[in-house]
Amino acid sequence: MKKYILSLCLLLSFTALLSPAQTSAAQAPGSTAFHDISASFAKEAINRLAKRSIVSGDGTGAFLPRNPVTRAEFVTMVARMLRMEPVQNDLPAFRDVSKSAWYYGWIHAALNLSIVEGNGYRFYPNDPITRQEAAVIVIRAMKQSGVNYTNTAAIYADSASIAQWAWNAVSQATGTGWLQGSKGQFRPQDAITREETAALLDRILQTGNVKSRIDSQTPVNIHMGWLYNGTANQYISYAKRAGLNVLVPRWFYMESNGKVSDSTDIELLNWAHNNGRQVWAMVGNCGNDEGTHQVLSSAPIRKSVIDRITANVARYRLDGINIDFENVMPSDRQNLTTFITQLSIELKRLGAKLSIDVSPDLNTDWTAAFDYASLGRQVDYMVLMSYDQHWGGSPIAGSVSSLPWSESALNKLLTQVPAKKSIIAYPLYTRDWRIASSVSSQDITLVEQGHRTRLKRASLSWNADVGQYEAAYRNNGIQHRIWTEDARSLSWKHLMAARYQIAGYAYWYPGAETTDVWQSIYNAERYASYSFGI
């Protein structure tokens, strides 16, 4: 029992309504034909929630108002209230939440947004949820954890029975009027019933601007992705799946003599034009520092490259250009700024956008050529490539993109470039580190990541400090570690970046991900847009 209570304190994760598997077409969410709620104090609340597809019955026309609610059911109801969608996380968080269970996607949707928390062990999905647990989950879901109602819970005669970890949440839920006691008691350890849950969630929806915010449209941000390792048809499929509104095909490469190679795919271009996607074709330098120096340091060659780029923009009716220059010499700092300034002038004449990819400013030679502030004044968007914290040849094993490292890089960029011009790029890959007498790594896609963790029966442990699972396994006696990137870690990254109100997000590279990440990202962006006035 102590172990179970400890798990509750650690997880603080909770659960309302009967499972979708138990719901017939006649009693699907949205139906209000319940024959057993006429005497319920929550009758009107139940009907309102049913119309919003938040609650359902048992398939026979019954709502069962006095039945207890399980933890999985409560999470599902809260997620539906917030208009989230279930997410089939490729990496499961809990040993007792089966991927085949109807509630798997709902629990992980809430987990990805930190509405529930877990340490990778157990969730107890079919156990009844207590009233104090329900208080914690709704306060967290409604972003009220920092609001101070410290002593409100003391009004209850049984306040001594309220767990310390739930005290503030019970106080807040009482202070807002969402949860009410009975005969002076809160009954913190009693299971919350279905009618009590309906009343609770209905009160939340009737508070302040909650309902209008939840019913509002999700803001449209830039979602861009580079074409890599795939055909045009595959990229189109990825773009549809990911909801990309900006495509970045790697079509143009600058040569030291001023020429620009052209690999434009007309099929992809036409599809984008016909389907409302913008095309910002990438211009790369193949990491050739000497060749890049020859171009940037010569005014005639710079002009030749710019002329060829703008000619392609006009010829193909491109919406923009994405500059991706890597391994630029520090001595070319002013030359690079001059090149971007001149290119910006020409692209503005054509009505095309200019973006440039940059690595985090770590005060190294790798980024010394990039004058972030000056470049930021010239481009429409600056894309921060927040990955390779621990690069392929790093002597130390570690994350490709930990949450604090990514946020630190974004913070530094925003001191020099406005948020409205800033886009943050996230990795859809990671590295499998081989840790022996020396450290080596292999780049792997998120698809391969899931395959390996299952095949090798890797242990998974969530590290909240980095915002990632750490997977560990042994192969032929050698220790392996993976700092994973998945639906949960990417949700955390999007929630973080959304606080800064940046212009959008980019991904390297579509096609490497598991499909669940896109639903998790959609949920994260929608949830981040909610600003409740309570």
Residues 367-382: tens digit of each pLDDT: 999 999 999 999 999 9
Q: Is the pLDDT of residue 10 over 90?
A: no
Are residues 195 and 261 both part of a single domain? Answer: no
Which of 180, 215, 250 lies at the terminal end of a domain, its last residue? 215
Task: For 321, list phi and psi in degrees, rounded to 5.
Answer: -130, 140
Which of 215, 230, 255 lies at the terminal end of a domain, its last residue? 215
Question: Quick check: is 501 in a domain?
Answer: yes
The arithmetic mean of pLDDT across residues 405-420, rounded, is 98
Task: Note the pTM of the prediction, 2 decimals.
Answer: 0.93
The domain containing residue 13 runs over which residues? Answer: 2-129+191-215
Positive or negative, the CA dihedral 207, 137, 463, 387 is negative
Domain count, the chain: 2
- What is the pLDDT, as a whole number, of residue 11? 37
Q: Is the pLDDT of residue 23 over 80?
A: no
Which of 215, 250, 271 lies at the terminal end of a domain, its last residue? 215
- Helix 104-112 and helix 71-81, axial crossing angle in degrees, nearest 10: 60
Query: Which stretches of 27-180 are DSSP H helices?
Result: 43-51, 71-81, 104-112, 131-141, 164-175
Q: Is the pLDDT of residue 2 over 70?
A: no
Question: Quick check: is 51 in a domain?
Answer: yes
C-beta separation of 13 from 71 below 8 A = yes
C-beta separation of 201 from 16 below 8 A = yes
Question: What's the distance, CA 38 to chain centroid?
Answer: 42
Are residues 210 and 237 both part of a single domain? Answer: no
Buried b (16+ CB within 10 A) or exposed e, 193-220: bbbbbbbbbbbbbebeebeeebeeeeee
Q: Is the pLDDT of residue 1 over 50?
A: no
Task: Specify the DSSP class assigned to residue 26.
Answer: G
| pLDDT tens digits for range 236-270 | 999 999 999 999 999 999 999 999 999 999 999 99
Of the candidates 361, 299, 295, the residue with the CA atom closest to the CA atom of residue 323:
295
* pLDDT above 70 coverage of the chain, percent: 93
Question: Quick check: is 338 in a domain?
Answer: yes
Tokens, residue 493: 């990254």
CATH number at residue 426: 3.20.20.80
Question: Quick check: is 177 in a domain?
Answer: no
Question: Quick check: is 26 in a domain?
Answer: yes
Question: Quick check: is 165 in a domain?
Answer: no
Q: Is the pLDDT of residue 6 over 60?
A: no
- What is the pLDDT, as a whole number, of residue 145? 86
Are residues 8 and 58 both part of a single domain? Answer: yes
Are residues 120 and 232 both part of a single domain? Answer: no
| pLDDT tens digits for range 167-190 | 999 999 999 999 988 999 999 999
Are residues 206 and 230 both part of a single domain? Answer: no
Are residues 203 and 262 both part of a single domain? Answer: no
Are residues 196 and 244 both part of a single domain? Answer: no
| pLDDT tens digits for range 87-96 | 999 999 999 9
| pLDDT tens digits for range 300-330 | 999 999 999 999 999 999 999 999 999 999 9
Distance between CA atoms of residues 165 and 74, nearest Å: 19
The arithmetic mean of pLDDT across residues 97-109, rounded, is 98
